[in-house]
Structure 1
Amino acid sequence: MNSLTLLPRFSPLAWLRRSARPAPPRWRELSLPARQPVHVVEVPRGARLLLQGRGGRVWLTCDGRPDDLFLEAGAQLAVTGPARLRLGAYGDVDARLRCAQATGNAQAVRGFSP
Protein backbone atom coordinates (compact mmCIF):
# COMPACT_ATOMS: atom_id res chain seq x y z
CA MET A 1 0.00 0.00 0.00
CA ASN A 2 1.33 3.37 -0.96
CA SER A 3 1.26 6.30 1.41
CA LEU A 4 1.25 9.95 0.56
CA THR A 5 2.80 12.54 2.83
CA LEU A 6 1.65 16.09 2.41
CA LEU A 7 4.41 18.64 2.69
CA PRO A 8 3.77 22.13 4.00
CA ARG A 9 3.06 24.67 1.34
CA PHE A 10 6.23 26.45 0.18
CA SER A 11 6.23 30.16 0.85
CA PRO A 12 9.21 32.08 -0.58
CA LEU A 13 8.56 35.08 1.67
CA ALA A 14 8.52 32.97 4.82
CA TRP A 15 11.81 31.39 3.74
CA LEU A 16 13.38 34.81 3.15
CA ARG A 17 12.26 36.04 6.58
CA ARG A 18 13.87 33.03 8.25
CA SER A 19 17.10 33.29 6.26
CA ALA A 20 17.51 37.08 6.54
CA ARG A 21 19.29 37.06 9.88
CA PRO A 22 21.63 39.95 10.68
CA ALA A 23 25.25 39.36 9.86
CA PRO A 24 27.61 39.00 12.82
CA PRO A 25 29.50 42.17 13.70
CA ARG A 26 32.88 42.76 12.07
CA TRP A 27 35.44 43.21 14.82
CA ARG A 28 38.45 45.51 14.60
CA GLU A 29 41.47 45.30 16.89
CA LEU A 30 42.50 48.56 18.49
CA SER A 31 45.91 48.88 20.17
CA LEU A 32 46.18 51.40 22.97
CA PRO A 33 49.86 52.07 23.82
CA ALA A 34 50.67 52.96 27.42
CA ARG A 35 51.32 56.62 28.22
CA GLN A 36 49.88 57.82 24.89
CA PRO A 37 47.03 60.29 24.27
CA VAL A 38 43.52 58.90 24.56
CA HIS A 39 41.63 57.53 21.57
CA VAL A 40 38.28 59.31 20.98
CA VAL A 41 35.31 57.41 19.55
CA GLU A 42 32.03 59.13 18.61
CA VAL A 43 28.88 56.98 18.81
CA PRO A 44 25.98 58.81 17.11
CA ARG A 45 22.38 58.67 18.30
CA GLY A 46 20.86 55.27 17.58
CA ALA A 47 24.19 53.55 16.87
CA ARG A 48 25.50 50.79 19.12
CA LEU A 49 29.16 50.01 19.72
CA LEU A 50 30.40 46.69 21.10
CA LEU A 51 33.69 46.67 23.03
CA GLN A 52 35.72 43.72 24.31
CA GLY A 53 38.96 43.84 26.29
CA ARG A 54 41.71 41.72 24.68
CA GLY A 55 44.81 42.45 26.73
CA GLY A 56 46.14 44.78 29.38
CA ARG A 57 43.67 47.05 31.11
CA VAL A 58 41.55 49.51 29.08
CA TRP A 59 40.47 52.76 30.71
CA LEU A 60 37.19 54.11 29.34
CA THR A 61 35.21 57.21 30.12
CA CYS A 62 32.14 58.75 28.52
CA ASP A 63 31.78 62.53 28.31
CA GLY A 64 29.11 63.78 30.71
CA ARG A 65 29.34 60.79 33.05
CA PRO A 66 31.22 60.99 36.33
CA ASP A 67 32.34 57.36 36.47
CA ASP A 68 35.26 55.71 34.68
CA LEU A 69 35.23 52.09 33.58
CA PHE A 70 38.02 49.55 33.22
CA LEU A 71 37.88 46.61 30.83
CA GLU A 72 40.07 43.60 31.54
CA ALA A 73 40.76 40.91 28.94
CA GLY A 74 37.47 39.15 28.14
CA ALA A 75 35.22 41.85 29.63
CA GLN A 76 32.56 43.22 27.28
CA LEU A 77 30.56 46.42 27.08
CA ALA A 78 27.86 47.72 24.73
CA VAL A 79 27.43 51.49 24.32
CA THR A 80 24.36 53.04 22.70
CA GLY A 81 24.74 56.56 21.30
CA PRO A 82 24.86 59.39 21.51
CA ALA A 83 28.16 59.13 23.32
CA ARG A 84 31.74 60.36 23.08
CA LEU A 85 34.11 57.77 24.50
CA ARG A 86 37.71 58.29 25.51
CA LEU A 87 39.82 55.13 25.60
CA GLY A 88 43.34 54.52 26.79
CA ALA A 89 45.70 52.00 28.35
CA TYR A 90 45.65 52.07 32.13
CA GLY A 91 49.05 51.92 33.80
CA ASP A 92 52.40 51.14 32.20
CA VAL A 93 51.20 48.23 30.04
CA ASP A 94 49.80 48.49 26.50
CA ALA A 95 46.15 47.50 26.12
CA ARG A 96 44.22 45.87 23.30
CA LEU A 97 40.54 46.16 22.55
CA ARG A 98 38.13 44.76 19.97
CA CYS A 99 35.46 47.13 18.63
CA ALA A 100 32.48 46.48 16.39
CA GLN A 101 29.44 48.41 15.39
CA ALA A 102 26.30 46.39 16.00
CA THR A 103 24.67 45.50 12.70
CA GLY A 104 21.55 47.25 11.51
CA ASN A 105 22.55 50.70 12.70
CA ALA A 106 21.94 53.57 10.33
CA GLN A 107 24.82 55.81 11.37
CA ALA A 108 28.49 54.93 11.44
CA VAL A 109 30.57 55.16 14.58
CA ARG A 110 33.47 57.58 14.14
CA GLY A 111 36.92 56.92 15.54
CA PHE A 112 37.48 53.46 14.15
CA SER A 113 36.87 51.75 10.83
CA PRO A 114 35.16 48.33 10.95
Structure 2
Amino acid sequence: MTTENFKKGLALRTELAGKEYVDKAFSDPNDYSVPLHELLTEYCWGAVWSRPGLDRRSRSILNLGMLSALNRSEEFAGHVKIALKNGVTKDEIRECLLQVAVYCGMPAGVTAFRVARKVFEELGV
Protein backbone atom coordinates (compact mmCIF):
# COMPACT_ATOMS: atom_id res chain seq x y z
CA MET A 1 0.00 0.00 0.00
CA THR A 2 1.26 3.46 -0.80
CA THR A 3 -1.52 5.86 0.15
CA GLU A 4 -0.62 8.82 2.33
CA ASN A 5 -2.87 7.55 5.12
CA PHE A 6 -1.20 4.15 4.99
CA LYS A 7 2.26 5.73 5.25
CA LYS A 8 1.17 7.93 8.19
CA GLY A 9 -0.57 4.99 9.81
CA LEU A 10 2.39 2.67 9.41
CA ALA A 11 4.74 5.21 10.97
CA LEU A 12 2.40 5.87 13.90
CA ARG A 13 1.51 2.21 14.46
CA THR A 14 5.20 1.29 14.43
CA GLU A 15 6.04 4.10 16.85
CA LEU A 16 3.31 3.18 19.34
CA ALA A 17 2.91 -0.59 18.99
CA GLY A 18 6.52 -1.33 18.14
CA LYS A 19 8.35 -2.50 15.02
CA GLU A 20 8.30 -6.15 16.13
CA TYR A 21 4.52 -6.11 16.56
CA VAL A 22 3.91 -4.45 13.19
CA ASP A 23 6.38 -6.68 11.36
CA LYS A 24 4.65 -9.73 12.84
CA ALA A 25 1.24 -8.43 11.74
CA PHE A 26 2.43 -8.16 8.13
CA SER A 27 4.37 -11.43 8.08
CA ASP A 28 1.52 -13.88 7.52
CA PRO A 29 3.16 -16.64 5.45
CA ASN A 30 -0.10 -17.21 3.57
CA ASP A 31 -0.85 -13.50 3.17
CA TYR A 32 -4.35 -14.25 4.48
CA SER A 33 -4.49 -11.48 7.10
CA VAL A 34 -2.28 -8.93 5.34
CA PRO A 35 -5.28 -7.14 3.74
CA LEU A 36 -6.81 -6.75 7.21
CA HIS A 37 -3.62 -5.18 8.56
CA GLU A 38 -3.39 -2.89 5.54
CA LEU A 39 -6.94 -1.72 6.18
CA LEU A 40 -6.33 -1.34 9.90
CA THR A 41 -3.09 0.59 9.31
CA GLU A 42 -4.57 2.90 6.69
CA TYR A 43 -7.84 3.72 8.45
CA CYS A 44 -7.42 3.18 12.20
CA TRP A 45 -3.90 4.55 12.45
CA GLY A 46 -3.58 6.72 9.33
CA ALA A 47 -7.03 8.24 8.92
CA VAL A 48 -8.22 8.39 12.54
CA TRP A 49 -5.30 8.22 15.00
CA SER A 50 -3.45 10.81 12.90
CA ARG A 51 -6.27 13.35 12.94
CA PRO A 52 -5.58 16.60 14.80
CA GLY A 53 -8.91 16.77 16.70
CA LEU A 54 -7.77 14.73 19.72
CA ASP A 55 -4.34 14.19 21.17
CA ARG A 56 -2.89 10.68 21.45
CA ARG A 57 -3.48 10.56 25.20
CA SER A 58 -7.21 11.23 24.73
CA ARG A 59 -7.45 8.65 21.96
CA SER A 60 -5.77 6.11 24.22
CA ILE A 61 -8.22 6.76 27.04
CA LEU A 62 -11.13 6.31 24.62
CA ASN A 63 -9.67 3.06 23.28
CA LEU A 64 -9.15 1.68 26.78
CA GLY A 65 -12.79 2.32 27.61
CA MET A 66 -14.16 0.92 24.37
CA LEU A 67 -11.97 -2.16 24.19
CA SER A 68 -12.52 -3.08 27.82
CA ALA A 69 -16.28 -2.51 27.52
CA LEU A 70 -16.32 -4.81 24.49
CA ASN A 71 -14.21 -7.43 26.31
CA ARG A 72 -11.53 -7.39 23.62
CA SER A 73 -8.76 -8.49 25.99
CA GLU A 74 -5.98 -9.08 23.47
CA GLU A 75 -6.42 -5.71 21.78
CA PHE A 76 -6.96 -4.07 25.17
CA ALA A 77 -3.58 -5.36 26.41
CA GLY A 78 -1.82 -3.80 23.43
CA HIS A 79 -3.61 -0.52 23.99
CA VAL A 80 -2.64 -0.45 27.66
CA LYS A 81 0.99 -0.44 26.46
CA ILE A 82 0.21 2.27 23.93
CA ALA A 83 -1.65 4.35 26.54
CA LEU A 84 1.39 4.27 28.82
CA LYS A 85 3.56 5.47 25.89
CA ASN A 86 1.01 8.24 25.30
CA GLY A 87 1.31 9.51 28.87
CA VAL A 88 -1.69 7.85 30.50
CA THR A 89 -0.64 6.86 34.00
CA LYS A 90 -1.30 3.57 35.76
CA ASP A 91 -3.63 5.41 38.16
CA GLU A 92 -5.54 7.01 35.27
CA ILE A 93 -5.94 3.61 33.64
CA ARG A 94 -7.41 2.32 36.90
CA GLU A 95 -9.90 5.21 36.90
CA CYS A 96 -10.90 4.41 33.31
CA LEU A 97 -11.49 0.80 34.26
CA LEU A 98 -13.55 1.68 37.32
CA GLN A 99 -15.73 3.77 35.01
CA VAL A 100 -16.08 0.81 32.66
CA ALA A 101 -17.01 -1.50 35.53
CA VAL A 102 -19.82 0.80 36.67
CA TYR A 103 -21.22 1.68 33.24
CA CYS A 104 -20.55 -1.52 31.29
CA GLY A 105 -20.71 -4.19 33.96
CA MET A 106 -18.46 -5.75 36.54
CA PRO A 107 -17.36 -8.68 34.34
CA ALA A 108 -15.93 -6.23 31.80
CA GLY A 109 -14.22 -4.28 34.57
CA VAL A 110 -12.81 -7.37 36.28
CA THR A 111 -11.40 -8.70 33.02
CA ALA A 112 -9.88 -5.34 32.13
CA PHE A 113 -8.24 -5.01 35.55
CA ARG A 114 -6.81 -8.51 35.21
CA VAL A 115 -5.38 -7.79 31.76
CA ALA A 116 -4.02 -4.38 32.76
CA ARG A 117 -2.33 -5.82 35.86
CA LYS A 118 -0.64 -8.47 33.68
CA VAL A 119 0.62 -5.79 31.28
CA PHE A 120 1.93 -3.69 34.18
CA GLU A 121 3.77 -6.73 35.54
CA GLU A 122 5.26 -7.49 32.10
CA LEU A 123 6.50 -3.92 31.77
CA GLY A 124 7.54 -3.52 35.40
CA VAL A 125 5.15 -0.59 35.89
TM-score (norm 2): 0.26
Structure with bigger helix share is: 2
Bigger Cα Rg: 1
